[in-house]
Structure 1
Amino acid sequence: MSSLLVSSPLVKTLRRLALATLLLPVTLPASAGPTNTVLPAKVQQALKASKIENSALSLVMLPMSGTDIPTIVNADVSVNPASTMKLVTTYAALELLGPTHQWKTEFYTDGPLRNGVLQGNLYLKGGGDPKLNMEKLWLLMRDLRANGVKQITGDLVLDRSHFVQPQLAAFNDDGKDDSKPFLVGPDALLVNLKSVRMIARNEGGKISIAAEPPIATIHIDNRVKSLPAGKCPGWPDVRYSPVKQADGSINLVVSGKLNDGCSGQTYLAVLDHAAYAAGSVRAIWQELGGSIQGGDRIDNVPKQARLLARAFSPDLVEIIRDINKYSNNTMAQQLFLSIGAQFRTAADADDAQAAYRVIRQWLTRKGINAGPLVIENGSGLSRQERTSARQMAALLQAAWQGPYAAEFMSSLPLVGMDGTMRKRLRRTALAGEGHIKTGTLNTVRAISGYSRDAKGNTWVVVAILNHPRPWGASSILDQVLLSLYQQKR
């Protein structure tokens, strides 16, 4: 398993700040009064059934309405929150960047345009857009085409200077395939989450393998064997093995078996950011009837360059909905660096350090002690990130009382209905009654958000379980929500 580079400046900063404030209490702005410090009985039973000790679970249940008393258990333990860390990143972004914040992506040139021929280089400048998908890129290039550009005599130049990237090793949780899209890191010019959709079909005994977008630097070596017609499995036996070549291209060996009349698809991230962005631009431009005569390179847009076309992202409210509903790690990391880029100072080594500093300062201004907080990349896909259940609950309470409460709550998965909670508790009275963000690593199970009890009162609920063997722990956290709803403690 890869981890954060031990010698990186960010790690030293994270550890120094965490150690300096580890013993400070975290303010939980709750009303004075009695507090329950015992886990609900059914939660204790669920823990016992999974052979997990009570001390592994940190729990805060805090009423936002009604007269019930809060439950606070193991709330000050420093824990890894997994993807519930996205709540810190997204709510900080709402207040620091604003709900209408947008990102821009632009095409520039340093040469004249005559009779459809751009006599110079074409520059694509990234602005850190977390959601620059293929449709948006296609529309941007259609705009370029509508402005009279057809042939480009110079190079395709990628400007990826918007972020000052931290030096972090890629996260890989127990050897998972590093070509999986959820492991894609951030980039100032992030295109389509760097994902290629691979489609395998067997039509009449003939196997075809297609890549979308059809990037020229991905070479497909089709070794899939055809089987007679039969029942099509939900997960076809088609395997993709990428091999990077010396020139940066990818030889994608496709093996396995596929029945006649069947098909299957998967998503891969096999190219680096620059190769994917350049390959996508060239594929779309060719489909639009254009050509680029020069090569691909990375450089900054020169000051004298002329703007040709510009596209804006959806606003921040839509972005955080994608991040929280579907726990999108790449978009969360992109948003975290965007905070850093917005508030970076000369003293910051990179945008991750800047974002970490600014978020801690923001928490302090809100009356929430930032002591337990350690943020590496803002997504929770990390072994380094830390918070406490008390701190997370204080943040959720502040969000509930803040000006963007509706926008924030609506970004969280609805219990039993959508996002990462779609299949959980859907046949219970809790379906639709809670907005809950989930978190999962191989030693972490977590939920954080808002849920209602049977009397219609809303609660902040934070339950974070750190354990070497958290088998069945998702059902334990579901029991937390059920116990809260039923108010049987």
Structure 2
Amino acid sequence: MISFFRRLAIASLLLPLALSAAVSPANAAIPANIEKALKASKIDTNALSLAVVPLNGPGTSNFVNADVSVNPASTMKLVTTYAALELLGPTHQWKTEFHTDGQLKDGVLNGNLYLKGGGDPKLNMEKLWLLMRDLRANGVREVKGDLVLDRSHFVQPELPQFNDDGGDDDKPFLVEPDSLLINLKAMRFIARGEPGKVSVSVEPPIAGMRIDNQVKALPAGKCPDFPDVRYNLVKQFDGSTMVVTGKLPAGCSVQSYLAPLDHQAYAAGVVRAIWQELGGTIQGQDRLGEVPKNARLLVRAFSPDLVEIIRDINKYSNNTMARQLFLSLGAEFRTSADADDAKAAQRVIRQWLARKGISAPHLVMENGSGLSRAERVSAREMAALLKAAWDGPYAAEFIASMPLVAMDGTMRKRLRRTDLAGEAHIKTGTLNTVRAIAGYSRDANGNTWAVVAILNHPRPWGASAILDQVLVDLYRQPKQTSQTAQR
């Protein structure tokens, strides 16, 4: 009897391994067309991880190097946005508020004006203007005290600065997240060549920032493909000066998108500029601080629903908004044991995946955007997440957030004039050593597949064509007859 129970115990230990082997088939061969594309780009087949899973029709799953830990680049945003949909809910909103610790009388606020950020990923200029217009409509004209910025909503992690291609750190896609993120901290500089001079303007206007225009005007001529106009921010005790140099022919213009200011200077400068346009004044200084417990709420604005936020994140691969969302998950579920909101987000996403029965031993999340050298996942894990989302209650919202092949987002220029146009929702990922796609694609029979293809290679040149070939091969499924459909 003891021997029987011992054999039973051993069998029970081996059963999960047997089941795991059943659902984790060995590597299949790389399809011939994809292997040919890899060879054409001189990329080894081991550099490609592939997972293709049928979702609502016949077909055979295909896994190639699918259990290798790889850098997914911006396809990591799918993990962050899907987790947010289920954990925060599709109608989740962020709020931004103005408070005061003083009294309002005859348009004069005798006290400080507090702007409290709630982590809104999409607090743009229009929304801020409407919020301040509401403040003005509520009778505030002159503020006697300080403008106090409350940026305490997030417990920020200490993460290394990421700059994949070196050079200027002022690029908008490198903007760090912040509790009081306004307009993605972006500025649009416009240089226009006119007869005898070059004009330089900036949107939005920033109070306290001056422009030192040193651009040389050239006679009218052919406009260069890459105009010689350069920007250098000089910080001073009483504000900042943007020194603009270079040369530009008359009749030519160039736009440059930069994020040279820190979050505090940008937020305070924008608020003061808008308030001045609305006919108001702020007598005091700009400073950081938290809203006092006895402060009074003046006005409040809400963000769009989460479903609109994740559409911006996935369609256009917005790194800063993805990082805002990741920290928002941490802030929502933070406990005293969490060192910061990134650690809290990592914990809550792992717990959520475990509840869904998704094993993800390769998953490493640093900031949730994919703009990282540390983030990792396997193709099989990403495919499992896509299948879970397909079966989940918010499948339509999640799928619609991804770029539509040959039509919009980061896929708008790919696979044009092919049968795949409009047939797939695909999130892309790009770093210097990474090219990736992940999402949902229909085949010629109208059946939908989850597809993940991630290529990690020191020189991934031509890799986009390889990944496009994955989608083309997937689309060309054998014609489905009524008998195969019944099976």
| Structure 1 residue 453: Cα displacement | 1.0
| Structure 1 residue 371: Cα displacement | 1.1
Structure 2 unaligned blocks of 5 or more? 1-15, 479-487
The one of 436, 443, 448 equivalent to 1:453 is 443
> 1:166-192: CA deviations, max 9, x gaps?
011221113131000000010000000
1:117 aligns with 2:108: yes
1:430 aligns with 2:420: yes
* 1-structure distance, mates of 2:21, 2:269: 53
The one of 359, 362, 366 equivalent to 2:356 is 366
> Do the aligned residues in 2 keep the contact of 1:27 with 1:391 (CA within 8 Å)?
no
Aligned match of 1:77: 68
The one of 28, 40, 52 equivalent to 2:31 is 40
> Do the aligned residues in 1 keep the contact of 2:197 with 2:216 (CA within 8 Å)?
no
Aligned match of 2:458: 468
Aligned match of 2:216: 225
> 1:336-358: CA deviations, max 9, x gaps?
00000000000000000000000
Q: How does 1:166-315 map to 2 (within 5 A)?
A: 166-245=157-236, 247=237, 249-315=239-305
Instruction: Compute the RMSD of aligned alpha carbons.
Output: 2.0
Aligned match of 2:318: 328
Change (3 A) 1:124 1:355: same
User: Whose radius of gyration is greater, 1 or 2?
Assistant: 2
Aligned match of 1:142: 133
| Structure 1 residue 66: Cα displacement | 1.9
TM-score (norm 2): 0.92
> Do the aligned residues in 1 keep the contact of 2:445 with 2:477 (CA within 8 Å)?
no
Worse-superposed segment, 25-34 or 406-415? 25-34
> 1:382-415: CA deviations, max 9, x gaps?
0000000000000000000000000000000000
> 1:114-147: CA deviations, max 9, x gaps?
1111110000000000000000000000000000
The one of 117, 121, 124 equivalent to 1:126 is 117
| Structure 1 residue 204: Cα displacement | 2.3
**Percent identical across equivalent pairs?**
75
* 1-structure distance, mates of 2:454, 2:24: 24
* 2-structure distance, mates of 1:137, 1:235: 34
> Do the aligned residues in 1 keep the contact of 2:67 with 2:380 (CA within 8 Å)?
yes
* 1-structure distance, mates of 2:182, 2:21: 43
Q: Which amino acid in 2 is paired with 1:466? A: N
Aligned match of 1:10: none
> Do the aligned residues in 1 keep the contact of 2:194 with 2:217 (CA within 8 Å)?
no
| Structure 1 residue 454: Cα displacement | 1.1
1:318 aligns with 2:308: yes
> Do the aligned residues in 2 keep the contact of 1:27 with 1:367 (CA within 8 Å)?
no
Question: What secondary structure does 1:42 align onto?
Answer: helix
Q: Which amino acid in 2 is paired with 1:308? A: L
1:487 aligns with 2:470: no
* 2-structure distance, mates of 1:483, 1:388: 21
The one of 159, 171, 176 equivalent to 2:150 is 159
> Do the aligned residues in 1 keep the contact of 2:195 with 2:219 (CA within 8 Å)?
no
* 2-structure distance, mates of 1:244, 1:447: 41
| Structure 1 residue 97: Cα displacement | 0.1
Q: Which amino acid in 2 is paired with 1:174? A: D
The one of 342, 358, 366 equivalent to 1:376 is 366
Aligned match of 2:7: none
Q: Which amino acid in 1 is paired with 2:228? A: D
* 1-structure distance, mates of 2:250, 2:74: 40
Question: What secondary structure does 1:179 align onto?
Answer: coil
> Do the aligned residues in 1 keep the contact of 2:231 with 2:242 (CA within 8 Å)?
yes
> 1:41-68: CA deviations, max 9, x gaps?
1110111111110000000011112211
Worse-superposed segment, 456-465 or 174-183? 174-183
* 1-structure distance, mates of 2:223, 2:84: 45
* 2-structure distance, mates of 1:398, 1:487: 23
| Structure 1 residue 232: Cα displacement | 3.2
Aligned match of 1:21: none
> Do the aligned residues in 2 keep the contact of 1:108 with 1:305 (CA within 8 Å)?
yes
1:92 aligns with 2:48: no
> Do the aligned residues in 2 keep the contact of 1:250 with 1:270 (CA within 8 Å)?
no
> Do the aligned residues in 2 keep the contact of 1:225 with 1:257 (CA within 8 Å)?
yes
| Structure 1 residue 248: Cα displacement | 7.7
* 2-structure distance, mates of 1:28, 1:344: 36
| Structure 1 residue 215: Cα displacement | 1.1
Worse-superposed segment, 213-222 or 346-355? 213-222
> Do the aligned residues in 1 keep the contact of 2:101 with 2:295 (CA within 8 Å)?
yes
Aligned match of 2:10: none
Aligned match of 1:9: none
Change (3 A) 1:65 1:32: farther
Question: What secondary structure does 2:130 align onto?
Answer: helix
* 2-structure distance, mates of 1:176, 1:398: 40
Question: What secondary structure does 1:371 align onto?
Answer: coil
> Do the aligned residues in 2 keep the contact of 1:111 with 1:118 (CA within 8 Å)?
yes
TM-score (norm 1): 0.92
* 1-structure distance, mates of 2:31, 2:186: 43
Change (3 A) 1:278 1:73: same
| Structure 1 residue 462: Cα displacement | 0.1
* 1-structure distance, mates of 2:439, 2:18: 18
1:388 aligns with 2:388: no
> Do the aligned residues in 2 keep the contact of 1:63 with 1:70 (CA within 8 Å)?
yes
